[in-house]
Amino acid sequence: MKPDPNAPQQLVSRTLGHYQARAEAFWEGTRNHDVSQNIEALLRHIAAEPPLMLLDFGCGPGRDLRDFSRRGHCVIGLEGTAALARMAREYSGCEVWEQDFLNLDLPAGHFDGIFANASLFHVPRPELPRVLGQLHAALKPAGVLFSSNPRGDNQESLNGERYGAYYDLETWRDYVNSAGFEELEHYYRPSGVPLEQQPWLATVWRRVGNPVARPR
C-alpha cells in the first residue's frame, strides 16, 4: 500500500484543531512555566551582537516572545493555531506569523537564533527532514537552533487529536545532523531529578553545512 501523501497534513490539522479548541486552557496551564534555562541555552551560544533577530517557532500564547522582547531582542513568533497566534500578539506586542509547520514561508538567512520549545515533536516524522532544512535555511551562517521535545523510544502517537513523535537522543541527533547542524550541548529537564523523572530532551545546534538528503 502506498503511503497517503495527505496523512502528515491531516495529522497537523488535527493537532492544530486540538490547540484551537483548548487555547484558553493551554494558556492557563503553561503561562507560569519557567523555561529560562532553555532561553539562556539558546542565547549563550549566539555569537552575534545584540539585539538579536530571533524566531520563536511554535510560540503558543506568547509567554517566551515577551521574555525575549524584554531582554531587548527582536523576536518574531510563528504559530499555526489562530487563537494562540492572536493571544501571542496581544500578550507580547510582537509580530506573529500564522503558519503551520508543513507550510512554512521563512526568509532565507534572516535569524540569529530559532527557539523551538515543545514544538518540533508535532512535525510528522516523514516531514521532519524537510522542516529542519527550512529552519537551517532561515538561519544566518553560524546561527543557532534550540529545541526541546518530550523524549521517547522513537515512537509516534496520537494523544486524543494531538500528534507527537518522541525520539531518543541518538535518533534526534541523526535527524538534526543530517539537516546541516552540529551539536553544541544537550540536557534533560527538569534539572535536579533522576533521569527517569526528566521527560524533556533539550538540544542546541549551530548551522554549519548543508542538509544531507535522507531516504524517504
CATH architecture of 7-207: 3-Layer(aba) Sandwich (3.40)
- DSSP code per residue over 67-127: HHHHTT-EEEEEES-HHHHHHHHHHH---EEE--TTS----TT-EEEEEEES-GGGS-GGG
Find out whether 9 and 122 touch, Cβ atoms under 8 Å.
no
> pLDDT digit string (tens) for 29-60?
999 999 999 999 999 999 999 999 999 999 99
> pLDDT digit string (tens) for 176-197?
999 999 999 999 999 999 999 9
Assign 128 to helix, strand or coil.
helix
Q: Which residues pair with 149 in a beta bridge?
A: 201
